[in-house]
Amino acid sequence: MLAYRQNSSGARLASGIGLSVLSAILVVLAFPPYQLWPLVFIGWIPMLIAQYHLIPSKWSSLAPALGIGLWLQGYLGPVFQPIGTFMVWLPLIVAVLTFLTDRGLQAFHQKTAYRWFVPMGVLNWAGTEMIRLFIPIAGTWAFIAYPLYRQPWLIQPVSIFGIIGMGMVVILTNYGLAMGILKWLEDKTSLVSQESRLSGRLVKKWLVATALILVAWVSISLS
């Protein structure tokens, strides 16, 4: 039985790492020069599934560390590599900081029944981008809304809510959809710990809210 549990944990960890790498690839493809912009709305979902469904709590922050770090390396690496400044280490620095700051998030969301899963994810991302605005060397590099720059039908509300507002919509979509998938996986599989307690009512609330905000955003943009 012990060997079976160890194999199961190892398989979950390996699957989680694979999904985190997949997220990095999807989001890199959303940015120039590939410009597969719709991927930015779903790119982080595999990483979130890895963090909150597959990887054990002790190592769950490995998922965002890998996903975000590899994304920055794939997008910014070719930019900074020829320069040779300390900025070539930025992806690794961000990966380490993410690993440290996201530790305990899986346990927190399980204990709070995922009540803060979506708003915390959106506000954390928006707050990070706001802080970066005050760091001259960082600026707006790799802002999550950048892949949408060629979609004028979608980005008009940026004149009201700013680029960070557009980024919040992108992250909201990722987290809202991820929450729905986490609930589905919890209902269909036995991989999740019994501590999860994701309520169907909460999931429905955030899926509806995400859809309404997307419709409202696009409506404002088109009008």
For the cut 80, the answer to whether the pLDDT of residue 27 exceeds it is yes
Six token digits for residue 80: 């900074």
pLDDT at 214: 98
- Encode pLDDT of 41-55 as tens digits: 999 999 999 999 999
Q: Where do we find the tokens 């991302």? A: 125
Position 10 pLDDT exceeds 70: yes
Stated pTM of the model: 0.92
Domain parsing of the chain, residue ranges? 2-222
> Is 149 strand, coil or helix?
coil
Tens digits of per-residue pLDDT, 84-124?
666 788 899 999 999 999 999 999 999 999 999 999 999 99
Specify the 3-state DSSP secondary structure of 189. coil
pLDDT at 150 over 90: yes
pLDDT attached to residue 22: 98
pLDDT, average across residues 70-80: 88
Question: What token pair was written down for 183?
Answer: 């609930």
How far from chain centre, in Å, is Cα 59?
17
For residues 50 and 63, the answer to whether their CB atoms sit within 8 Å is yes
